[in-house]
Amino acid sequence: MARRKKIYEGKAKILYEGPEPGTIVQYFKDDATAFNAEKKAVIEGKGVLNNRLSEFFMTGLAQIGVPNHFIKRLNMREQLVRSAEIVPLEIIVRNYAAGTMSKRLGLEEGTQLPRPIVEYCYKDDSLGDPLVTEEHIAAFGWASQQDMDDILSLALRVNDFLSGVMMAVGIRLVDFKIEVGRVYDGDFQRLIVADEISPDSCRLWDIETGQKLDKDVFRRDLGSLTDAYTEVAQRLGVMPRKATPVSKPTLIN
Ligand code: C5P
Cβ neighbours of 202 (radius 10 Å): 23
pLDDT of 66 above 60: yes
Position 234 scores a pLDDT of 98
> What amino acid is encoded at 219 in this protein?
R
pLDDT of 96 above 60: yes
Report CA(178)–ligand 1 centroid distance (Å). 9
Q: Are the beta carbons of 120 and 152 closer than 8 angstroms? A: no
Position 247 scores a pLDDT of 74
- Check if 99 has its Cβ closer than 6 Å to any atom of ligand 1: yes
- Check if 212 has its Cβ closer than 6 Å to any atom of ligand 1: no
Measure the CA–CA gap between 50 and 154, rounded to whole angstroms: 21
How much of the chain exceeds pLDDT 70, in percent?
A: 97
Average pLDDT of every residue of the chain:
96
Say how many residues make up the chain.
Answer: 253
Tell me the domains of the chain and their CATH numbers. Answer: 6-82 (3.30.200.20), 85-224 (3.30.470.20)
- Check if 161 has its Cβ closer than 6 Å to any atom of ligand 1: no
Measure the CA–CA gap between 40 and 33, rounded to whole angstroms: 4
Position 244 scores a pLDDT of 67
Cα-based distances in Å from 85 to 11, 150, 180, 183: 19, 15, 8, 7
How does residue 2 score in pLDDT terms, banded at 50, 70 and 90? low
Strands (E), 186-233: 188-194, 202-206
For residue 216, the ligand 1 atom closest to its alpha carbon is 12
How much of the chain exceeds pLDDT 90, in percent?
A: 92
Measure the CA–CA gap between 113 and 58, rounded to whole angstroms: 26
Q: Report pLDDT digits (tens) over 109-150.
A: 999 999 999 999 999 999 999 999 999 999 999 999 999 999
Q: Are the beta carbons of 204 and 213 closer than 8 angstroms? A: yes
